[in-house]
Amino acid sequence: MKILVSVKRVIDYNVKVRVKADNSDVDLANVKMALNPFCEIAVEEAIRLKEAGVASEVVVVSIGPKAVQEQLRTAMALGADRAIQIDTDELPEPLNVAKLLAKVVEEEQPGLVILGKQSIDSDNNQTGQMLA
């Protein structure tokens, strides 16, 4: 059985978040980014299932610019077999994220999809979305 895990790039939880001077958004200049902790838990659980012989392959997917490859590599270092990056420079809306992930599920045909319970940046219970 193949397991698909969605992962998200977020500001590292140890970083003190700064707001832009115009109050329009979070200032991401020179900020350390990391794998969303709840996504990391999802990847670890998928790997546990593989090690137990329940799954044969763990595939991670993320949506975002080239920079999300860092988080995909982190997931692979944890033990994922393959990584898929959906390349976009724009911040996708939640519905578009859901549609993109649904397309990946359709193409990959996993037996199980695991997602983290929420993202620590927007805290809106969506973990497939990217952060530039």
Q: What percent of the chain has pLDDT over 90?
A: 48
pLDDT in tens, 32-85: 778 888 899 999 999 999 999 999 999 999 988 898 899 999 999 999 999 999
How many structural domains comprise the chain?
Answer: 1
Q: Look at residue 41 and tell me if it is in a domain.
A: yes
Q: Look at residue 20 and tell me if it is in a domain.
A: no
pLDDT tier, 132 (very low <50, low <70, confident <90, very high otherwise): very low
Residue 9 amino acid letter: R
118's tokens: 């929420």
Between the alpha carbon of residue 57 and those of residues 54, 107, 114, the distances in Å are 10, 15, 13
Q: Look at residue 120 and tell me if it is in a domain.
A: no
pLDDT in tens, 88-121: 877 777 888 888 999 999 999 999 999 887 676 6
Q: Look at residue 17 and tell me if it is in a domain.
A: no
Q: Look at residue 132 and tell me if it is in a domain.
A: no
Q: What is the CATH number of the domain that holds 66?
A: 3.40.50
Q: Look at residue 29 and tell me if it is in a domain.
A: no
Q: Look at residue 104 and tell me if it is in a domain.
A: yes
Kindly report the pTM of this predicted structure.
Answer: 0.82
Return all residues near 36 (Cβ < 8 A) that are at least 6 apart. Answer: 7, 8, 9, 10, 116, 119, 120, 121, 127
Q: Look at residue 14 and tell me if it is in a domain.
A: no
Residues spanned by the domain of 107:
2-9+35-115
